[in-house]
Structure 1
């Protein structure tokens, strides 16, 4: 007897369906549905609420944390200029982290039930529904969890006085990334740099998902050979 391939019912909560796609998941998730109406993720209303985040929540929550981290470094002996230098260094490190996470974590290939399910929650949902404005930025709880290993990395990389400001720079880079990402999908980029960035990013969504992993910058795509062919942009 021939087994029929699994079909996702878009009228039902999606999260616990996508895992059944198996090897077909990667192709399915990269066939975008362009609609501002986001799908239902969970049957449970509380779980569903946790998946939805307004873009302005990101700076509201994290910019005070950035200021607090910089103040800790100053309290531990850094001069304002040294703290600013550490902050800028953290932003630079973030640009590489942004590229690395997007390329290797957010675009990892999965085929198992739980692998597909977790990938869909992490990034696959954004590729399937790229105009869903409430699931474009990271919920603060998810960001806090991801911050733990990143903070450990920054702490090992630098001294106790430098680490807070350096990490604060990384966090500031993240805030700029998430807000920029939202703008590229929902802002009115009509000319200049914003239009170029928008075209570059939407090329990643609708033409070549294996290229163009940078959001705030294309520098690391150029360095690591994932810059898309000019004619495809």
Structure 2
């Protein structure tokens, strides 16, 4: 594809190409290529391997930590019912973080070489190749880095004995988010709720990409006024 005199060669490693698109990057990255075979990111085999994560790696990696933090709050004197409420609160906090990251970080507007490159690695690749199953969930190493500020955030709003339970709930929320996200792209749900959620998310990818930032629900889109318009409303404009 030729944009502003630069040709993106889809048959070559993409990561160090996309930065050259400059102002045209945003338009290019939001023109999805629907193909289950993902593109090559790097020429280096090790770097290429590190960009790929199977969906099942997420629960296998993080659910043991979820169990540890939840039981930690119980060992610090809280009842199972109290810890259950911490977990629910943690999941709720995560849904706001999920929305905020998706709206303000994952969809940040970039134009510089390194800005475009980093955005493509973070989220742009998912919009360009939305059916790439090995680059849909977050690699555990990247998640581990993000958990440090999340731990400190939970510390600010909790006590030493409730912090593990809240953090465990937030981490569980993240696990549910990532596997739900994978499910919405690659499964054919039969239940109405999941059918609607899949339609809602694919609408974000293929029709109106600057709205509908919720993944596990549309709750925060309703709160902050970023619900996608309906097709009928679009026709009336």
Taking structure 1 as the reference length, the TM-score comes to 0.96
Q: Deviations over 1:33-70 (max 9, x none)?
A: 00000000011111101110110110111111000001
Q: Does 1:64 align with 2:55?
A: no
Q: Does 1:13 align with 2:13?
A: yes
Q: 2:221: which partner in 1?
A: 221
CA positional deviation for 1:82: 1.3
**Separation in structure 1 between the aligned mates of residue 87 and residue 184 of structure 2, nearest angstrom:** 25
CA positional deviation for 1:4: 5.2
**Separation in structure 1 between the aligned mates of residue 140 and residue 191 of structure 2, nearest angstrom:** 32
1:99-110 map, 5 Å: 99-110=99-110
Q: Is the 8 A contact 2:4 2:21 kept in 1?
A: no
Taking structure 2 as the reference length, the TM-score comes to 0.94
**Separation in structure 2 between the aligned mates of residue 211 and residue 87 of structure 1, nearest angstrom:** 28
Q: Does 1:49 align with 2:49?
A: yes
Runs of 5+ consecutive residues of structure 1 not aligned to the other structure = none
**Separation in structure 1 between the aligned mates of residue 107 and residue 220 of structure 2, nearest angstrom:** 16
Runs of 5+ consecutive residues of structure 2 not aligned to the other structure = none
**Separation in structure 2 between the aligned mates of residue 120 and residue 4 of structure 1, nearest angstrom:** 18
**Separation in structure 2 between the aligned mates of residue 126 and residue 143 of structure 1, nearest angstrom:** 17
**Separation in structure 2 between the aligned mates of residue 208 and residue 185 of structure 1, nearest angstrom:** 17
**Separation in structure 1 between the aligned mates of residue 35 and residue 59 of structure 2, nearest angstrom:** 26
Q: Deviations over 1:18-47 (max 9, x none)?
A: 111111110000000000000000111111
CA positional deviation for 1:7: 1.7
Query: 1:24 aligns to what SS in structure 2?
Result: helix
CA positional deviation for 1:231: 2.4
CA positional deviation for 1:162: 0.6
**Separation in structure 2 between the aligned mates of residue 205 and residue 225 of structure 1, nearest angstrom:** 18
Q: Deviations over 1:66-123 (max 9, x none)?
A: 0000111122222221111111100011111111110001000011111111110110
Q: Is the 8 A contact 2:4 2:24 kept in 1?
A: no
Q: Is the 8 A contact 2:110 2:119 kept in 1?
A: yes
Q: 2:137: which partner in 1?
A: 137
1:28-39 map, 5 Å: 28-39=28-39
Runs of 4+ residues deviating >6 angstroms: none
**Separation in structure 2 between the aligned mates of residue 5 and residue 109 of structure 1, nearest angstrom:** 21
**Separation in structure 2 between the aligned mates of residue 5 and residue 125 of structure 1, nearest angstrom:** 21
CA positional deviation for 1:191: 4.7
* Cα distance change of structure 1 residues 57 and 4 upon mapping to structure 2, 3 Å threshold: closer
CA positional deviation for 1:190: 4.0
**Separation in structure 1 between the aligned mates of residue 154 and residue 44 of structure 2, nearest angstrom:** 37
Aligned residues: 231
